[in-house]
Chains A and B, each alone.
Chain A
């Protein structure tokens, strides 16, 4: 069985990329109330940042997703078109139905973020 706490996940959890706030910008904040995973996503002039707390999967997912968006320079339309499968591909780990929710919080947050500003 594949180990979900791969190096990559732990690395992004411990050393998140795109972590921080943007001042003067209203974030989209989402919470998974069943477990307390929280994410706030900020966007300004094509720059994306996040803050949050919670399980390793939820936080690493935010870091990895924002890295993908930034490296591939995805447009708001492309971000909105990202699917659950795309998110699985970003995370590269097998996720049970329960943990999938943790992995998808970041996707939901960033999709709501681009919907707001478009």
Chain B
């Protein structure tokens, strides 16, 4: 079965735009994805026909809105293989999800000297909240180092994960290196070496490319954002094991996360509502559910194979250029970051944009510790999505050649 990319592109209204008279080549899905009609329609339909506040009202609109919102929760639960809808907490994004764990679990459980295990390739979202927790609790962060080709050094990990470990929090797919970490192997390590520790998987990049099954991975928490998987901004997910969520303190306080409020105290609501304070992003949750359905319309293996093929084609072509250094391992997700010895990432990205209508990302990609470790300050990143084809990648290559012309390399 092969993909009809033109047909897929046609489902995304943004590709109707042209930039400087050229058709748009969007290669920045790792930063945010484009949105298909089905997602936009679902959100608009909610506002046009079913809009009301949820969980409270008696009237028909409130009922419909509540049903749509809770159905969205159900759809997301199935999307990631969760057996229970109540294990899905809607947040604003993956970053907020991690902050929720940091505040509601870590601050209550960590003591001075306890260890939080991260990796050197983490995104700031999976570093900064832990730095904040460490400061508050006296816990210590330790980093699993990387091998020279940008993979987790699992041998070193075995020395680092140990009896003092209370949290292991690792990214599934790196947004800089494209490295895909063996999340089951890490869970096995946790089971063996730190059975009392919680295990968190950051699926922000992987969720759009790979089928995730939280029961199969065996993690305790999993986080991701809607906007990176063809869904809207403003909605993210924290999946958590029910028994953990039930014992955790609330995160934000206010309406809906309570069962009752008196003048001096409140009784928190049941999970997951305990963690959803205030009126949520109802339309966005509905949009996220539509994005799940959009993704599942396709054979996900075929889509991933296609994206990987494009990534490998790009890598093979880039390897021909003596000025270019590619970061990350041979086996990787559909994402390629590289430097050009003669052209700064910003200049390259600018020329790709100005002359070729190609959208790529240049910078540190919210992974400054990783960049520091690699000795770089900015890379150009090409990240692939379901709507990309070989012509898109060829435009990047044309763009690099043109940039070399302009900068007289």
Contact = CB atoms under 8 A, between A and B. Distances in A.
A54 B378 CA distance: 9
Contacts of B56: none
Contact of A99 (B350, B363, B406): B350
Interface string B364-375: 100010000000
Interface in B370-409: 376-378, 406-408
A5 B364 contact: no
Nearest to B377: A36
Main secondary structure of the interface of B (DSSP, over half): mixed
Interface residues of A, number: 18
Given A14-B408, A35-B377, A57 B346 contact: yes
B20 interface: yes
B406 A5 contact: yes
B408 A1 contact: no
Give the interface centre of B346, B351, B368 by most chain A CB atoms within 10 Å: B346
B351 A5 contact: yes
Contact of B346 (A3, A14, A102): A102
A60 B72 CA distance: 52
B354 A35 contact: no
Interface residues of B, number: 18
A57 B347 CA distance: 8
Contact of A54 (B344, B363, B368): B344
B406 A10 contact: yes
B346 A99 contact: yes
A35 B378 contact: yes
A33 interface: yes
B364 A34 contact: yes
B345 interface: yes
B362 interface: yes
A34 B364 CA distance: 6
Give the interface centre of B20, B347, B376, B406 by most chain A CB atoms within 10 Å: B347
Contacts of A3: 354
A33 B366 CA distance: 11
A1 B378 CA distance: 26
Contact of B362 (A1, A14, A33, A35): A35
A21 B376 CA distance: 24
B346 A5 contact: no
Contacts of A57: 346-347
A10 B377 contact: no
Contact of B407 (A4, A54, A56): A56
Contacts of B378: 35-36
A55 B408 contact: no
A10 B364 CA distance: 24
A4 B406 contact: no
A99 B348 CA distance: 12
Interface string A1-45: 101110000100110000000000000000001111100000000
Contacts of B377: 33, 35-36, 54
Interface of B: 20, 344-347, 350-351, 354, 362-364, 368, 376-378, 406-408
Given A13-B407, A14-B408, 4 more contacts: A5-B351, A35-B345, A36-B377, A54-B346
21 contacts: A1-B20, A1-B354, A13-B407, A14-B408, A34-B363, A35-B345, A35-B362, A35-B363, A35-B364, A36-B364, A36-B377, A37-B346, A55-B345, A55-B346, A55-B347, A56-B347, A56-B407, A57-B347, A99-B346, A99-B350, A102-B346
